């Protein structure tokens, strides 16, 4: 199951032929540098190359009017003046004798990608296209866009494959108003867009790009707009929106297919976006979407005008689609005030449509529309524009061994995994330590000793980057945890995030030095008191409340994990975890976004059946879909909310309401 890459040089063969300051950034080099970066980094070679095709008239008419299509078809025969006149009826768009041809290829590329994913030829993929699509409308070109590539792809997927629910994530920095208009009254397509808005001062300056455009009639609730009212947004701002808005709704919606309007003008250095999120953030955004729809994700290029940041961002996206774990997220320090205000507005507006937001606070009392804009420095334009420099994202090297498994004799090692051998010559220092601290006299048989020291061996291989992740099926998870966690945390630069799933006492004491962050997910109230680094989460009825559980993961565990930024994740399945397999696999897969995928999974003997699915998730296979979700148990929602409320002073990525700050 591979990753498709769709590209054709033909789409570089058109350009702006006259002077127009608002269009001059949309250049053929955008596509050339993106593709060259994929080739140079070796990523293109790892993809399945799929040819483009021309979209047919019937394909284009899925979204556009006959009249508009016929008009665009005449542009190759126009003189320069005629083309300029033709453009004048639209906003910020130019034509060229070859752009109609390229526009059919761009839409056709999106359709080829949908075909490749839907037929199972590949798992996911990316199409590098020009012209972009998300601004173009039923009857009009707009913002460099001729045909709406992604909207056409969504209609096509519904029609040709009977796809019931499509999620469109538009992370381009502009509002894809064309996509919004196309699906406004359609509940089968959920459109999410974040965009630079600045209280309607930023192009396309539409009233309907604000948070209160939620969709119409049957489609009410299926259009989600997150306006950025300031520039300079950072990685934390983007992640906050995913954790507290997009992902909870996306999981509740349960798409059969995810389409991404993958514009990279939302990255640092872009002259349009003026944001500060670094290219590696796209690895995380991609990763966080990859466990929806059983991994069926199609990314289609939209904007992106800083050639350096564009090429880096494209590489981060494609490498993640290929299954490599994302890099360590850099300097996350919580969302800014303006982000939290926007988040609060959208969450309270949408809580009537989505049960995951039922508990969201009321609309804030401050009146957003009458805010004194003259105080916004960001609007005092030119002088405040900064030239941004950022380091090139380090090469993401994945260890040759993606998953090493420590299994008892007689259990076969799943394909693609490496069998960690049981240590034969034991390090005497470690033996003494283990005998003193963990093994009782009656048990210090050589078997337990060698299992535990093999575990330590495994963790050391992960620290040295020889192994990416590990799984151990052990006789006693408690002892394994007691042995491995302190050992890993003792290395100077290490921080260990431990997640215990299931009831029972956590066998290690968590100190306040921050070397270990322990989160327990269990059915029962914890006996131990909560603290900054020991966080018991009580979820009644375990997996019979899948909704409550996934929401706790998305909006509590992930933000904590991201802010903590561990060097190792230890995921422990206690004997009585009671978690259904699909939920467990979602948890495992989502946690690969932390610590560069350095995760050790500890499972109790007796749970053999779960070894092979867990191993495949460590290898990067997407988790199965949870199915459409019903409302979570109110008591679970409440206890998670209370916990979030208590912890948000210590953990800034847990903030969701304006009151949470200051
Ligand atoms: C696809 C895209 C931007 C148009 C900006 C016009 N279009 N000012 O990023
Ligand atoms: Zn854009």
Task: List, as one string, the DSSP characters of 77-88.
Answer: G--HHHHHHHHH
Q: Are strands 122-127 and 2-6 parallel, antiparallel or unpaired?
A: parallel
Instruction: Identify the pLDDT of residue 505.
Output: 86
Contact 150, 301 (CB under 8 A): no
End-to-end Cα, the chain, rounded Å = 48
Distance 269 CA to ligand 2 centre (A): 13
Instruction: Identify the pLDDT of residue 372.
Output: 43
Exposure pattern of 145-177 as b/e (b: 16+ CB <10 Å)?
A: bbbbbbbbbbbbbbeeeebebbbbbbbbbbbbb
Q: Hey, what are 163's tokens? A: 């796809």
Contact 243, 251 (CB under 8 A): no
pLDDT in tens, 476-526: 999 999 999 999 999 889 999 999 999 888 888 899 999 999 999 998 888
Determine if ligand 1 sits within 6 Å of the CB of residue 265. Answer: yes
Contact 355, 631 (CB under 8 A): yes
Taking 70 as the pLDDT cut, the residues of the chain under it are 364-386, 440-444, 659-662
Exposure pattern of 52-74 as b/e (b: 16+ CB <10 Å)?
A: bbbbeeebbebbbeeebbeebee
> Cα–Cα distance between 153 and 147 in angstroms, integer?
11
Return the bridge partners of 194, or none. Answer: 226
Instruction: Identify the pLDDT of residue 373.
Output: 43
> Ligand 1 pocket: which of 110, 141, 174 to mutate (most atoms <8 Å of CB)?
174
> Cα–Cα distance between 534 and 300 in angstroms, integer?
42
Distance 446 CA to ligand 2 centre (A): 62
> Cα–Cα distance between 483 and 499 in angstroms, integer?
15
Domains 2-384 and 401-656 share a fold: yes
Determine if ligand 1 sits within 6 Å of the CB of residue 325. Answer: no
Distance 303 CA to ligand 1 centre (A): 6
Contact 302, 155 (CB under 8 A): no
> Cα–Cα distance between 304 and 25 in angstroms, integer?
9
| 3-class SS shares of the chain: helix, strand, coil, % to 5 | 40, 15, 45
> Ligand 1 pocket: which of 135, 171, 260, 275 to mutate (most atoms <8 Å of CB)?
135
Q: In the chain, what's the furthest Cα-to-Cα distance? A: 92
Determine if ligand 1 sits within 6 Å of the CB of residue 270. Answer: no
Backbone torsions φ then ψ of 145, nearest 5 degrees: -105, 135
Instruction: Identify the pLDDT of residue 503.
Output: 87
Global pTM reads 0.96
Atom of ligand 1 nearest to the CA of 203: 8
Rounded to the nearest angstrom, the gap between the alpha carbon of residue 497 and the centroid of all alpha carbons in its chain is 20
Q: Hey, what are 436's tokens? A: 């003193």
Distance 312 CA to ligand 1 centre (A): 20
Rounded to the nearest angstrom, the gap between the alpha carbon of residue 80 and the centroid of all alpha carbons in its chain is 43
Sorted by where each begins, the domain ranges of the chain are: 2-384, 401-656
Residues 6+ apart with CB under 8 A from 313: 264, 267, 279, 282, 304
In this structure, which CATH number among 3.40.50.720, 3.40.800.20, 3.90.180.10, 3.30.420.40 belongs to the domain 401-656?
3.40.800.20
> Cα–Cα distance between 316 and 577 in angstroms, integer?
35
Class of domain 2-384: alpha beta
Determine if ligand 1 sits within 6 Å of the CB of residue 172. Answer: yes
Distance 151 CA to ligand 2 centre (A): 16
Closest CA to 208 of 228, 230, 223: 223
Atom of ligand 1 nearest to the CA of 305: 9
Q: Hey, what are 156's tokens? A: 């096509």
Which of the following is catalytic: 64, 96, 135, 350? 135
Determine if ligand 1 sits within 6 Å of the CB of residue 92. Answer: yes
Determine if ligand 1 sits within 6 Å of the CB of residue 263. Answer: yes
The strand ranges marked E within 265-420 are 297-301, 401-406, 418-419
DSSP-derived 3-state class of residue 303: coil
Give the strands of the sheet with 401-406, arranged side by side: 418-419, 401-406, 467-474, 599-604, 568-573, 496-501, 516-522, 534-538
Q: How many beta carbons lie within 10 A of that of residue 503, not counting itself?
A: 18
Ligand 1: which residue has its CA nearest to atom 4? 143
Q: Hey, what are 591's tokens? A: 């946690």
Is 135 one of the catalytic residues? yes
Ligand 1: which residue has its CA nearest to atom 7? 143
Stretch (H or E) spanning 317: helix 307-321
Contact 396, 41 (CB under 8 A): no
Atom of ligand 1 nearest to the CA of 134: 1
Determine if ligand 1 sits within 6 Å of the CB of residue 302. Answer: yes
Q: Hey, what are 92's tokens? A: 């910020």
Contact 483, 434 (CB under 8 A): yes
Q: Residue 292: is it exposed, middle or buried by C-beta count within 10 angstroms (0-12/13-18/19+)?
A: buried
> Ligand 1 pocket: which of 132, 143, 179 to mutate (most atoms <8 Å of CB)?
143
Q: Residue 350: is it exposed, middle or buried by C-beta count within 10 angstroms (0-12/13-18/19+)?
A: buried
Distance 446 CA to ligand 1 centre (A): 66
Atom of ligand 1 nearest to the CA of 132: 1
């Amino acid at each position: 199951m591979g990753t498709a890459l769709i590209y054709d040089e033909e789409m570089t063969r058109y350009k702006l032929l006259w002077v127009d300051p608002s269009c001059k950034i949309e250049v053929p080099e955008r596509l050339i540098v993106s593709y060259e970066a994929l080739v140079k980094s070796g990523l293109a070679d790892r993809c399945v190359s799929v040819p483009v095709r021309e979209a047919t008239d019937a394909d284009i008419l899925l979204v556009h009017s006959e009249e508009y299509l016929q008009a665009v078809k005449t542009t190759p025969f126009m003189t320069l003046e005629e083309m300029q006149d033709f453009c004048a009826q639209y906003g910020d768009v130019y034509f060229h004798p070859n752009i109609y041809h390229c526009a059919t290829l761009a839409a056709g590329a999106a359709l080829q990608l949908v075909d490749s994913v839907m037929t199972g030829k590949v798992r996911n993929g990316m199409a590098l296209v020009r012209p972009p699509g998300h601004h173009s409308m039923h009857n009009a070109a707009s913002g460099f866009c001729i045909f709406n590539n992604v909207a056409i792809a969504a209609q096509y997927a519904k029609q040709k494959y009977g796809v019931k629910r499509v999620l469109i994530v538009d992370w381009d920095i502009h509002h894809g108003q064309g996509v919004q208009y196309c699906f406004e009254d359609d509940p089968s397509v959920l459109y999410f867009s974040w965009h630079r808005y600045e209280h309607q001062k930023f192009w396309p300056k539409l009233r309907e790009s604000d948070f209160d455009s939620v969709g119409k009639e049957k489609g009410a609730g299926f259009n989600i707009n997150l306006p950025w009212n300031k520039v300079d947004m950072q990685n934390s701002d983007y992640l906050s929106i995913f954790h507290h808005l997009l992902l909870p709704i996306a999981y509740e919606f349960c798409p059969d297919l995810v389409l991404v309007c993958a514009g990279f003008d939302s990255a640092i250095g872009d002259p349009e976006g003026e944001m500060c999120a670094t290219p590696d953030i796209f690895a995380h955004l991609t990763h966080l979407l990859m466990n929806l729809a059983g991994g069926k994700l199609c990314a289609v290029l939209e904007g992106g005008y800083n050639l350096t940041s564009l090429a880096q961002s494209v590489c981060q996206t494609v490498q993640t689609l290929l299954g490599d774990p994302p890099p360590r997220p850099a300097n996350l320090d919580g969302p800014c005030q303006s982000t939290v205000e926007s988040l609060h507005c959208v969450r309270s507006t949408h809580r009537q449509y989505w049960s995951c937001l039922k508990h969201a606070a009321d609309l804030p009392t401050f009146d957003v529309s009458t805010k004194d804009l003259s105080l916004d420095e960001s609007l005092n334009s030119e002088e405040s524009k900064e030239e941004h420099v950022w380091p090139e994202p380090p090469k993401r090297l994945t260890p040759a061994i993606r998953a090493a498994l420590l299994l008892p004799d007689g259990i076969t090692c799943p394909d693609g995994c490496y069998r960690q051998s049981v240590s034969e010559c034991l390090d005497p220092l470690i033996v003494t330590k283990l005998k003193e601290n963990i093994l009782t006299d009656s048990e210090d048989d050589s078997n337990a000793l060698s299992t535990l020291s093999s575990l330590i061996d495994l963790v050391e291989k992960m620290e040295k980057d020889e192994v990416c992740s590990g799984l151990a099926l052990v006789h006693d998870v408690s002892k394994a945890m007691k042995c491995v966690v302190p050992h890993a945390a003792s290395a100077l630069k290490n921080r260990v995030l431990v997640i215990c799933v299931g009831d029972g006492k956590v066998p290690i004491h968590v100190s306040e030095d921050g070397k270990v962050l322990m989160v327990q997910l269990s059915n029962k109230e914890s006996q131990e008191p909560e603290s900054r680094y020991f966080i018991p989460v009580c979820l009644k009825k375990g997996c019979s409340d899948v909704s409550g559980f996934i929401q706790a993961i998305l909006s509590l565990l992930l933000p904590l994990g991201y802010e903590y930024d561990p060097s190792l994740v230890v995921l422990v399945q206690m004997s009585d975890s009671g978690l259904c397999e699909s939920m467990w696999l979602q948890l495992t897969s989502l946690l690969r976004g932390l610590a560069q995928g350095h995760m050790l999974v500890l499972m109790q003997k007796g749970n053999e059946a779960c070894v092979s699915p867990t191993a495949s998730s460590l290898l990067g296979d997407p988790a199965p879909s949870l199915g459409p979700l019903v409302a979570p148990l109110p008591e679970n929602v409440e206890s998670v909310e209370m916990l979030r409320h208590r912890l948000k002073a210590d953990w800034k990525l847990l903030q969701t309401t304006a009151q949470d700050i200051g």
